[in-house]
């Protein structure tokens, strides 16, 4: 395995965060002391170290102004992100999270993320240790939820009885095991683990070394034909080729990423590029080699350019292929051609194996809570407690209840209906594929609403498409509260990217299969004009589309310029 460091380029000047990482003694920082200091917040160095432990320091942004006026400090609270490889949970683990949300989250909710894990928002500093301990007692961790390391590794959440499902799971867990931080500091801080003797930390991180990766690193394993998880948005995308029963090998794609900064013009989203094919037994070695290339060559001076995509674009894909081949000690095989037949989430009832099925349940923006109209949290708790399904969180923020006996299906569906939770046939195609990131009030980077805004927009868009006889069209709408792209907006048919409170940039022309970046259509559009801005394009699409052509494909084919330059109202 290629874990030794090959000579890195001379690093010009390390960014502040690199220094914090280096001084943290493998992520210990002064967290233990800080947890005892009675203050509601952590200092800046510990805030950075905490991310590696799966914790973000936030404040309730709804309260900011009021507290400021009253001369009080912000209402600090933590977001805790678990690491749940492939989104798979036992019923006991699901119930443990459900209870943690009741006990410690100020919002009383659980949030399924676009990388198929759970986030708990609104955890006060004084409850942090108990929360993290409880997650570990449920045999899960938060280490690797965030920070400059390999993040939650994702895969298609749909279960199946064919051997390749188990093989992919095995390969995913091997990657997770190998790419997880090994620091003992996590156990020392949160689980009262015995402390290592001074200096013994030196060899703790064979893969990451003292300063971990230059930036976050995301890995996804898709199954050939099904891009439900947006494989092209990952630093390392892995596509499993199957012969119907077994995995025959994997195609590797590198350099995907969504993040951009609106004011920094040379930051951009990028689709991962296919670079090589590996046999199944070669996968782990290849994954480690790819990670080490980024570890050794990624930009450690300026975090804005530290993602793998910039390393690759700066040096070129040919350079990368040569570097990877050198690290593996053999020439690379060409990537296999990739074809996608589906990309929607696995909602509704599906046969899993004889006598058993799984039910994909739509969760609006991944937020599990009880409201006046839908009791997501309590209904799912009751169902999981009674029927003991295995639970799978999807990368489109939904939930799959797996291993359900067929006889349980009507009972489960009845419970969902009674709780006001729609089944898949009650949902428009548009709603099934819509996603919004968290944004306000917890995200410190949000410049606009997203999770709280999309539910108000969806009925208007449903009406718009219905007006043109397109109610059943599969169209992906994605919304984010800033350009960072947490709901992967730049590969949706339609995206609204928050720029300032109430104003969004509109992006159009991606495709439903997530294989093409969309284009900026209009900037800073007020939220109440989003539907009107899209209407002329929907009208033209309805009139001019080719058979089977998706909305994004149509926009891409005819070009946005025609609509951009049309006088307002002319095409409505
Ligand atoms: Fe994200 C930062 C939420 C998936 C790109 N993301 C953040 C933070 C932690 C804000 C912060 O740094 O203070 C957000 C916390 C909000 C909150 O209150 O919960 C946040 N990101 C999320 C989640 C919860 C969105 C969701 O609605 O589900 C997703 C959690 C995933 C997980 O479980 O690990 C989430 N973020 C993504 C994705 C999608 C993906 O990975 O498939 C992306 C685009 C892909 C990519 O990484 O390029 C993404 N998040 C970012 C970025 C931009 C990174 C960049 O390269 O520029 C940031 C900002 C940063 O890292 O500086 C960010
Ligand atoms: Fe926050 Fe921006 Fe990510 Fe939305 S896209 S969760 S606003 S960082």
Catalytic: 516?
A: no
Q: Which of 425, 247, 223 is nearest to 237 (CA)?
A: 223
Tell me how far the alpha carbon of residue 235 lies from the centroid of ligand 2, in angstroms: 18
Average pLDDT over residues 397-405: 98
Q: What is the pLDDT of residue 86?
A: 98
Ligand nearest to the CA of 85: 1
Kindly list the distances between the CA atom of residue 188 and the CA atoms of 55, 91, 136, in Å, as whole numbers in the listed order. 16, 28, 13
Helix and strand numbers, DSSP H then E, in the chain: 18, 22
Q: Which of 564, 459, 462 is nearest to 507 (CA)?
A: 564
Determine which one of 178, 228, 486, 555 is catalytic: 486
Q: What is the pLDDT of residue 161?
A: 93
Specify whether the CB–CB gap between 481 and 492 falls below 8 A. no
Q: In degrees rounded to 5, what are phi and psi of residue 452? A: -85, -10
CA dist., res. 495 & res. 491, Å (int): 8
Mean of all residue pLDDT scores within the chain: 95
The residue to mutate among 439, 478, 487, 492, having the most atoms of ligand 2 within 8 angstroms of its beta carbon, is 439
pLDDT at 8 over 50: no
Residue 495 tokens read as: 């995206």
CA dist., res. 445 & res. 497, Å (int): 13
In this predicted model, what pLDDT tens digit does every residue of 88-129 receive, in sequence order?
A: 999 999 999 999 999 999 999 999 999 999 999 999 999 999
Q: What CA dihedral angle connects 264, 266, 270 and 276, to 10 degrees?
A: -140
Specify whether the CB–CB gap between 44 and 88 falls below 8 A. no
Specify whether the CB–CB gap between 464 and 531 falls below 8 A. yes
pLDDT at 352 over 80: yes
CA dist., res. 523 & res. 448, Å (int): 14
- Band (pLDDT 50/70/90 cuts) for residue 3 is very low
Average pLDDT over residues 296-303: 97
Kindly list the distances between the CA atom of residue 524 and the CA atoms of 89, 480, 502, 504, in Å, as whole numbers in the listed order. 41, 13, 9, 5
**Structural element, H or E, at residue 525:** strand 519-526
Helix (H, G, I), strand (E, B) or coil at 224: coil
Q: What is the pTM of this model?
A: 0.97
Q: Which of 413, 409, 425, 402 is nearest to 353 (CA)?
A: 402
Specify whether the CB–CB gap between 401 and 416 falls below 8 A. no
Q: What is the pLDDT of residue 271?
A: 98
Helix (H, G, I), strand (E, B) or coil at 375: strand
Task: Assign domain 434-571 to a CATH class.
Answer: alpha beta
pLDDT at 9 over 60: no
In this predicted model, what pLDDT tens digit does every residue of 123-170 receive, in sequence order?
A: 999 999 999 999 999 999 999 999 999 999 999 999 999 999 999 999
Catalytic: 555?
A: no
* Domain coordinates in residue numbering, the chain: 434-571
- Positive or negative, the CA dihedral 375, 378, 383, 386 is negative
In this predicted model, what pLDDT tens digit does every residue of 337-348 receive, in sequence order?
A: 999 999 999 999
Place of tokens 């299906």: 409
Determine if ligand 2 sits within 6 Å of the CB of residue 247: no
Helix (H, G, I), strand (E, B) or coil at 281: helix
In this predicted model, what pLDDT tens digit does every residue of 159-196 receive, in sequence order?
A: 999 999 999 999 999 999 999 999 999 999 999 888 87
Determine which one of 215, 218, 307, 478 is catalytic: 218
Q: What is the pLDDT of residue 25?
A: 95
- Band (pLDDT 50/70/90 cuts) for residue 568 is very low
Q: What is the 3-state secondary structure (H, E, C) of 180-244?
A: CCCCCHHHHHHCCCCCCCCCHHHHCCCCCCCCCCCCCECEEEEECEECCCCHHHCCEEEEEEECC
Specify whether the CB–CB gap between 153 and 85 falls below 8 A. yes
Q: What is the pLDDT of residue 203?
A: 83
Half-sphere exposure of 526 (CA within 13 A, CB side): 2
Residues contacting residue 65 through CB under 8 Å, at least 6 positions apart: none
Q: Whose CA is nearest to atom 14 of ligand 1?
A: 443
First to last CA, the chain: 60
Beta strands in 306-407 (DSSP E): 340-342, 348-353, 356-361, 367-368, 390-393, 399-405
Q: Which of 81, 142, 133, 85 is nearest to 112 (CA)?
A: 81
CA dist., res. 59 & res. 41, Å (int): 10
Specify whether the CB–CB gap between 151 and 216 falls below 8 A. yes
Determine which one of 25, 28, 51, 81 is catalytic: 81
Residue ranges around ligand 1 (CB below 6 Å) = 56, 58, 79, 81, 113-115, 117, 119, 151-152, 218, 233, 257-259, 307, 366, 397, 437-438, 442-445, 484-488
Average pLDDT over residues 339-361: 96
Q: What is the pLDDT of residue 534?
A: 98
- Band (pLDDT 50/70/90 cuts) for residue 474 is very high
Q: Whose CA is nearest to atom 8 of ligand 1?
A: 443
Q: Whose CA is nearest to atom 60 of ligand 1?
A: 484
Tell me how far the alpha carbon of residue 303 lies from the centroid of ligand 2, in angstroms: 17
Helix (H, G, I), strand (E, B) or coil at 493: coil
CA dist., res. 200 & res. 189, Å (int): 16
In this predicted model, what pLDDT tens digit does every residue of 41-50 receive, in sequence order?
A: 999 999 999 9
Average pLDDT over residues 217-236: 98
CA dist., res. 520 & res. 7, Å (int): 40
- Residue 144 backbone class (left: φ over 0; alpha: ψ -120 to 50; beta: rest): left
Determine if ligand 2 sits within 6 Å of the CB of residue 560: no
Helix (H, G, I), strand (E, B) or coil at 149: coil
- DSSP annotation of 158: -
Q: What is the pLDDT of residue 12?
A: 66
pLDDT at 4 over 50: no
Half-sphere exposure of 394 (CA within 13 A, CB side): 32
Q: Cis omega (within 30 of 0) on the bond before 441?
A: yes
Strand partners of residue 497: 480, 505
In this predicted model, what pLDDT tens digit does every residue of 409-444 receive, in sequence order?
A: 999 999 999 999 999 999 999 999 999 999 999 999
- DSSP annotation of 87: G
Q: Give one DSSP letter per residue of 433-479, joined into a string.
A: H-EE---TTT-TT-SS--TTTHHHHHHHHHHHHHHTT-TT----EEE
Ligand nearest to the CA of 435: 1
Average pLDDT over residues 66-80: 98
Kindly list the distances between the CA atom of residue 273 and the CA atoms of 11, 257, 522, in Å, as whole numbers in the listed order. 26, 11, 28
- For the chain, give the number of residues: 572
Tell me how far the alpha carbon of residue 439 lies from the centroid of ligand 2, in angstroms: 5
- Band (pLDDT 50/70/90 cuts) for residue 197 is confident
Determine which one of 146, 228, 443, 555 is catalytic: 443
Place of tokens 């947890």: 35
Catalytic: 178?
A: no
Residue 97 tokens read as: 């999270």
In this predicted model, what pLDDT tens digit does every residue of 519-550 receive, in sequence order?
A: 999 999 999 999 999 999 999 999 999 999 99
């Amino acid at each position: 395995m290629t874990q030794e460091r090959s000579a890195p380029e001379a690093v010009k000047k390390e960014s502040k965060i690199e220094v914090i990482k280096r001084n943290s003694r493998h992520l210990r920082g002064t967290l233990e002391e800080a947890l005892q200091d009675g203050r509601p917040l952590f200092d800046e160095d510990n805030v950075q170290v905490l991310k590696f432990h799966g914790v973000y320091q936030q404040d309730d942004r709804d309260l900011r102004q009021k507290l400021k006026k009253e001369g009080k400090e912000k209402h600090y609270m933590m977001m805790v992100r678990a690491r749940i490889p492939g989104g798979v949970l036992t019923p006991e683990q699901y119930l443990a999270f459900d209870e943690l949300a009741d006990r410690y989250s100020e919002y009383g909710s659980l949030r399924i993320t676009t990388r198929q894990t759970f986030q708990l928002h609104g955890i006060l500093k004084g409850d942090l240790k108990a929360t993290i301990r409880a997650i570990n007692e449920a045999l899960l961790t938060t280490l690797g939820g965030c920070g400059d390391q390999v993040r939650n590794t994702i895969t298609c959440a749909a279960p199946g009885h064919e051997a390749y499902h188990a093989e992919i799971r095995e390969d995913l867990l091997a990657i997770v095991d190998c790419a997880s931080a090994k620091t003992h500091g996590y156990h020392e801080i949160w689980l009262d683990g015995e402390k290592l003797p001074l200096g013994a930390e030196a060899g703790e991180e064979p893969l990451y070394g003292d300063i971990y990766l230059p930036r976050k690193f995301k890995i996804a394993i898709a199954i050939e034909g099904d891009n439900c998880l947006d494989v092209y948005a990952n630093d390392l995308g892995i596509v499993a080729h199957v012969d119907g029963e077994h995995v025959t090998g994997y195609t590797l794609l590198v350099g995907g990423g969504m993040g951009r900064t609106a004011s920094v013009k040379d930051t951009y989203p990028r689709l991962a590029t296919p670079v090589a094919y590996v046999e199944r037994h070669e996968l782990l070695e290849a994954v480690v080699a790819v990670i080490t290339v980024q570890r050794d060559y990624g930009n450690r001076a300026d975090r804005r350019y530290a993602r793998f995509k910039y390393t690759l674009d700066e040096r070129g894909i040919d350079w990368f292929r040569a570097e990877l081949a050198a690290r593996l000690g053999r020439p690379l095989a060409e990537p296999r051609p990739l074809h996608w037949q589906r990309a929607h989430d696995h909602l509704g009832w599906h046969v899993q194996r004889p006598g058993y099925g799984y039910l994909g349940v739509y969760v609006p923006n991944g937020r599990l809570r009880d409201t006046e109209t839908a009791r997501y949290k309590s209904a799912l708790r009751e169902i999981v407690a009674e029927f003991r399904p295995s639970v799978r969180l999807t990368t489109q923020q939904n939930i799959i209840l797996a291993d359900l006996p067929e006889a349980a299906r009507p009972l489960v569906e009845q419970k969902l209906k009674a709780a006001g939770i729609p089944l898949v046939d009650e949902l428009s195609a548009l709603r099934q594929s819509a996603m919004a990131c968290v944004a306000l009030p917890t995200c410190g980077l949000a410049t606009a609403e997203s999770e709280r805004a999309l539910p108000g927009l969806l009925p208007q868009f449903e009406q718009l498409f219905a007006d043109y006889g397109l109610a059943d069209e599969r169209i992906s709408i994605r919304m984010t509260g800033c350009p960072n792209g947490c709901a992967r907006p730049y590969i949706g048919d339609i995206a609204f990217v928050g720029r300032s409170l109430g104003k969004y940039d509109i992006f159009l022309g991606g495709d439903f299969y997530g294989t093409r970046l969309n284009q900026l259509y209009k900037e800073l559009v007020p939220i109440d004009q989003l539907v009107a801005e899209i209407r002329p394009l929907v009208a033209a699409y309805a009139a001019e589309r080719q058979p089977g052509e998706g909305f994004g494909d149509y926009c891409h084919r005819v070009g946005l310029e025609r609509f951009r330059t049309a006088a307002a109202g002319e095409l409505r």
